[in-house]
Amino acid sequence: MYRTAVHFPNVVTMRRAPYSSESTLMVDSNITNSPEWNCIHTNDSETMFPTNFAWGAATSAYQIEGGWDVDDKGPSIWDTFCHEGGRLVFEGQSGDVTCNSYELWEEDLRCIRQLGLTHYRLSLSWSRLLPEGITRHVNQKGLRYYNKVINDLLASDVLPMVTLYHFDLPQALQDQGGWKSPEIAAIFDSYACFCFESFGDRVKLWITLNEPYVCAKLGHEDGIFAPGVKEPGMAAYLVGHNMLRGHARAWHSYNVLYRAKQGGSVSLAINSDWAEPLDPASPDDTAATERYLAFTLGWFAWPLFVTGDYPEVMRSSIEVRSKELGYQEGSRLPRFSKDEPSLLGTADFFALNYYTSRRVKPGECCPGLLGLKSDRDAEGVVDPSWPVCGVSWLAVVPDGLRKLLKYIKDTFNNPAVYITENGFSQVGPVDMEDVQRCGFYHDIIQEVARALREDGVDVRGYFAWSLLDNFEWADGFSVRFGLFHVDFSRPKRPRTAYRSGREYAGIISKYRSQTMVNI
């Protein structure tokens, strides 16, 4: 029987509700075998996934590990940001303990197994492995921790996808200029090589950097993410540039030194909304949409997949705005040097983080101001018919994912795509029976199936964000994305499946058994 989607009330819920812990239920270890666990009903003939499709969930080190200063770990910029710039984080919270996965990894593994995941995406804490950010001092305890995680996953038939960098630069490197410094590209490369060398015999899917857009814009333009730099219209472009240079070096190192013996794939995770013109008949809205996509997806995808350089519309917009503002010192968007490893072709697959969509019109924001938004001159609007879940930016638009996947196929020469993140948040009182999120997962997976079957997009996998409720950056613990609820008020941080966790397990089990039957 085809299960109709749950429709969400079209309301914008509070952005910053205090965390409240209610449930103490523990997960039954045989839960995937219980009938209630397999609660999804779909029309068998309607959707099909390839046999080796990756069914995953994702987390990141700072958001779940805790243990911020134990066992010789060095501080990262998020440790500093929360401790010193704490007023910028919800209720002064931090990731000091969070899910305490550093101590409780086996609990996470239990959750992973209960979901029936084939893949798990985690990130490495750079400063846990290299407390000063460089290979002069390797922290053996950090190495041991990640070796155990990777080995345990493999022993459970779960393949790791490992992100080298998910927002948490070692503070020691920030003190030397961080991502604004040109030297960071070579330092990142040597960290990447250290990781390929240490784990690459077992890890075959690598993400160098997670969401460089967010690091650049929120961390160095808006100053609301670590390291809290506010230099609008300047630092973000420099940071994005150095991140791309670091990525390219790491990819080339893998290609030359490790690919033949390790046989893995390396990419960079790009976040993007789907965007379409507010008025499809308006040339101004259409042009604004092109700029909107160029300044997010295109900024990082164009150099890797199309030309080795930034999208032309991004360059020209920044130049025009610089002239208008009387800015004298050359382009604010740096140029790639011919003497450096080239960017073009440095992604073995397209790694996409998709959460939401926007309708776009020309910008209304302060033309006299220096900043990315005014360079972009495009404003994203939430369609009133779209429900908004939890955080105010997260309009729920499952078919936006299908459209974005088709756009990626057409624009970037039909790459293999992993959806490395996608999810639905909850704020306010904990709702263990989260039917809206169940409906969301059902709908989004249908859209992925349509992209595969009807649009011919080469989608290789889907990673739900997130395995666990965790530290949601500036929103602290007030926003919950987990498939498992975590009770942050209790020392053991018990993990309990939300109904949506059971739903996702049911979806995975359904489609995996379907592909078994069809091979």
Q: Residues with catalytic annotation?
A: 421
Q: Per CB under 6 A, which of residues 221..280 are in contact with ligand NOJ?
A: none
Residue with tokens 């814009």: 217
**Residue 416 is encoded by which pair of tokens?**
């293999």
Tell me which of 38, 60, 114, 426 binds ligand NOJ, using CB under 6 A.
60
| Residue 210 binds ligand NOJ, judged by CB under 6 A | yes
**C-beta of residue 395 within 8 angstroms of C-beta of residue 386:** yes
Smaller CB distance to ligand NOJ: residue 38 or 353? 353
Smaller CB distance to ligand NOJ: residue 60 or 127? 60
Smaller CB distance to ligand NOJ: residue 408 or 452? 408
Shortest distance in whole angstroms from residue 58 CB to ligand NOJ = 8
CA 346 to each of CA 8, 48, 122, 188, 499: distance values in angstroms, whole numbers, following the listed order = 40, 30, 21, 15, 40
**C-beta of residue 87 within 8 angstroms of C-beta of residue 152:** no
Site size toward ligand NOJ (CB under 6 A) is 9
Smaller CB distance to ligand NOJ: residue 166 or 450? 166
Rg of the chain over Cα atoms, rounded to whole angstroms, equals 22
| Residue 165 binds ligand NOJ, judged by CB under 6 A | no
Q: Per CB under 6 A, which of residues 171..190 are in contact with ligand NOJ?
A: none
Residue with tokens 């077992």: 202
| Residue 213 binds ligand NOJ, judged by CB under 6 A | no
Shortest distance in whole angstroms from residue 74 CB to ligand NOJ = 21
Closest CA to 50 of 440, 488, 417, 479: 417
Closest CA to 114 of 46, 38, 228: 38
User: Phi, psi at residue 136, to the nearest 5°?
Assistant: -60, -35
Smaller CB distance to ligand NOJ: residue 377 or 472? 472
User: Position 296: which residue type?
Assistant: T
Shortest distance in whole angstroms from residue 475 CB to ligand NOJ = 8
Closest CA to 120 of 128, 129, 109: 109
Tell me which of 188, 465, 477, 504 binds ligand NOJ, using CB under 6 A.
465
| Residue 108 binds ligand NOJ, judged by CB under 6 A | no
Determine the longest span between alpha carbons in the chain, in angstroms. Answer: 68
Shortest distance in whole angstroms from residue 69 CB to ligand NOJ = 21
| Residue 353 binds ligand NOJ, judged by CB under 6 A | yes
Smaller CB distance to ligand NOJ: residue 111 or 193? 111
Smaller CB distance to ligand NOJ: residue 60 or 262? 60
DSSP 486: E
Shortest distance in whole angstroms from residue 273 CB to ligand NOJ = 12
**Cα–Cα–Cα angle for 373, 374, 376, nearest 5°?**
65
Shortest distance in whole angstroms from residue 149 CB to ligand NOJ = 18
**Which residues touch 292 (CB under 8 Å, ≥6 apart)?**
273, 275, 358, 360, 376, 378, 380
Shortest distance in whole angstroms from residue 513 CB to ligand NOJ = 30
| Residue 346 binds ligand NOJ, judged by CB under 6 A | no
Smaller CB distance to ligand NOJ: residue 450 or 495? 495
Q: Is 207 helix (H, G, I), strand (E, B) or coil?
A: strand
Shortest distance in whole angstroms from residue 87 CB to ligand NOJ = 20
**C-beta of residue 484 within 8 angstroms of C-beta of residue 467:** yes
| Residue 472 binds ligand NOJ, judged by CB under 6 A | yes
Smaller CB distance to ligand NOJ: residue 105 or 481? 481
CA distance 263 to 260: 6
Burial code of 217-243, b = ≥16 C-beta within 10 A, e = fewer?
Answer: bbbbbbbbbbbbbeebbbbbbbbbbbb
**Which residues touch 312 (CB under 8 Å, ≥6 apart)?**
none
Q: Per CB under 6 A, which of residues 407..446 are in contact with ligand NOJ?
A: 421
Cα within 13 Å of Cα(202), Cβ side: 18
**C-beta of residue 171 within 8 angstroms of C-beta of residue 85:** no
| Residue 211 binds ligand NOJ, judged by CB under 6 A | yes
Shortest distance in whole angstroms from residue 482 CB to ligand NOJ = 10
The residues binding ligand NOJ (CB under 6 A) are: 60, 63, 210-211, 353, 421, 465, 472, 481
